[in-house]
Amino acid sequence: MFESGRIYFGDLCMSGRAITVGGRVVLSAVLVSLAGGVCSAQSYSAAIINPAGSLETFIRGGGQSAGAVGSYSLPIESPIPDSRIVRAFVFDGSNVVDLHPTGFSASYANRSRNGQQVGFGFTSDPNIALLWTGTAESVVQLNNSETLSAVASDTDGQTQVGAARTILGGPLDNAYAWQGTPESGRSIHPPTLFGSAAFAIRDGAIVETGEDFGEMRTGVYWPSLNDQGQIVRPDGFDETFLYDLVLGYGFGEGYGSATGGPRHAMLFNLSNFSDTISLHPADPSVINTYARSARAFGTTLNDVVFVGSAAVEDIPGTGETDEHAVAWVGPTTFVNLHRLLPTGFNFRYSVAQAVDESGKIYGFASDLQGLYVGVVWTPQTSTGCSPADIANTDGDPGSDGAVDNGDFSAFFTAFFLSGDDPARLIADVANTDGEPGADGVIDNGDFTLFFAGCAN
């Protein structure tokens, strides 16, 4: 059954609903939209995913077609207050399937692809890398005689990658790979690094983040298991991090003189490491941006949805930031997903972790008490208004999936600033003829396209 309610403020309406099964709330959702219609392809509705009886939920990876994987905690009887057990699960878009293996004290699922799920668990101290094919009974423990502790981070359906502490590998984790069995496990750790961990595998290619002997992080790219790992740290970067691959690029982070100091979500061309693209938005309230994963829905970077998080300074000049879940639709369209979370939960922190094949974005968020819930952001149908979506409801730069008074305020404020003020460029949405695309000049073309977009 459905319990519905609507709260009106200004020219926005926020509608929410809770879906209950057997009297227990499974999902609570909110859709933020302009009264005249949802605007742009970057519009999302947000819903809370909390399996029945769960104390906390973390979603760490997207699944196939619709769904995700993660972990949730259930209370257990114990003389120790707040005792709980953490259990891995896979979510198919409507149902939660528990993956927790018999005899384990805790289990965690990190990623799902091509019918497999990977993660880790433990029965006492050491972590045990785990592989599932949809059920708790299907679990395969991947640790072998060489591994003291291990975690599986990703799979392509044939090869699983992650990290392991090994007998001969030193005090830090080494990137590790398996092909479905403990015996197939092998190190993919570059000998020039002190430690490493593999985070993603796509079509046999692997990306890692490692640590050199100077204790500085660096991205690593393996074209295949049989190739040599290549260090990805172009000039201008003090440290780099790689977490995913998409269309020949490594998706990760970097900072240094190339970014002006702050950490930026980055794309690194894996055929030419010096070819880099920063995804960091122009919004001055966004201090750092962080990468998690990406999914391509076509053959160009504009067809890719990237997700992660950003350190956002909510009160300018204070230096105090909160971490917000964010997405990029293509390298330049930035969406603050945190601002689409349901009201009433007092969310302080959120992160977007993965995108499934239907375009849904999965992650988790925490409230002021530090309790975590899973979140799914579902893309809404475009109505062609995206040129006007340049700010959030408060008028701060950055797309939020809706056109409202914040966009009007930001546009007019920028439009009438002096010509040498860089903040003016938020109003640069078109060329002189009113065609979409910035041209570095604020003129009647921008004015025309902005209002044409809002009229749609």
pLDDT in the model for residue 329: 94
Q: Is the per-residue pLDDT at 277 higher than 50?
A: yes
> What was the pLDDT predicted at 67?
72
Statement: residue 193 has pLDDT above 90 = yes
Mean pLDDT lowest among 27-31, 39-43, 195-199, 360-364: 27-31
The per-residue pLDDT for 318 is 82
Delineate the domains of the chain, giving CATH numbers in brackets. 49-387 (2.130.10.150), 388-456 (no CATH)
pLDDT tops 50 at residue 142 = yes
- Cα–Cα distance measured from residue 181 to residue 28, given in angstroms and rounded to the nearest whole number: 40
| pLDDT computed for residue 190 by the predictor | 93
Which of 94-103, 176-185, 399-408 is least confident? 399-408
At residue 34, the pLDDT reads 26
Q: In what order do the strands lie in the sheet with 217-222?
A: 195-202, 205-211, 217-222, 230-232
Measured CA to CA, the distance from residue 322 to residue 347 in angstroms comes to 10
pLDDT of residue 42: 59
Lowest mean pLDDT among 39-48, 81-90, 285-294: 39-48
Pairwise pLDDT comparison (299 vs 418), residue with the higher score? 299
Rounded to 5°, the CA angle 14-18-21 comes to 165
CA pair distance 128, 143, nearest whole angstrom: 6
Share of the chain above pLDDT 70, in %: 86
The pLDDT value recorded for residue 128 is: 96
**pLDDT grade for 445, boundaries at 50, 70 and 90:** confident
Identify the weakest region by mean pLDDT among 99-113, 217-231, 249-263, 356-370. Answer: 356-370
Instruction: Give me the mean pLDDT over the 333-353 stretch.
Output: 90
Specify which of 12-16, 260-264, 442-446 reaches the highest per-range mean pLDDT. Answer: 260-264
- At 419, the pLDDT band (50, 70, 90 cuts) reads confident
pLDDT of residue 386: 63
Quickly state the pLDDT bin for 37 (edges 50, 70, 90): very low
The pTM of the full predicted model, rounded to 2 decimals, is 0.75
Q: Which amino acid is at 240?
A: T
Give the mean pLDDT of 270-298. 95
Residue 378, helix vs strand vs coil: strand
**Is it the case that residue 273 has pLDDT exceeding 70?**
yes
Indicate whether 87 pLDDT > 90: yes
pLDDT band at 453 (very low <50, low <70, confident <90, very high): low
Q: Identify the residue with better confidence: 152 or 167.
A: 152
What average pLDDT does range 286-312 have in this prediction?
95
Taking the CA of residue 238 as centre, how many other CA atoms within 13 Å lie in the half-sphere pointing to its CB? 10
* CA–CA dist 332, 397 (Å, integer): 13
What DSSP string describes 117-170?
EEEEEESSSS-EEEEESSSGGG-EE---TTEEEEEEEEE-SS-EEEEEEESSS-
Beta pairing partners, 407: none
Query: Greater confidence, 3 or 201?
Result: 201
- Range from 207-216, 236-245, 308-317, 435-444 carrying the lowest mean pLDDT: 435-444
Lowest-confidence pick of 19-33, 213-227, 301-315: 19-33
Whether 93 shows a pLDDT value over 80: the answer reads: no
Is pLDDT at 330 greater than 90 in this prediction?
A: yes
155: nearest Cα among 117, 196, 107, 109 = 117
Q: With contact defined as beta carbons under 8 Å apart, do 355 and 293 qualify? A: yes
Distance CA 132, CA 109 (A): 9
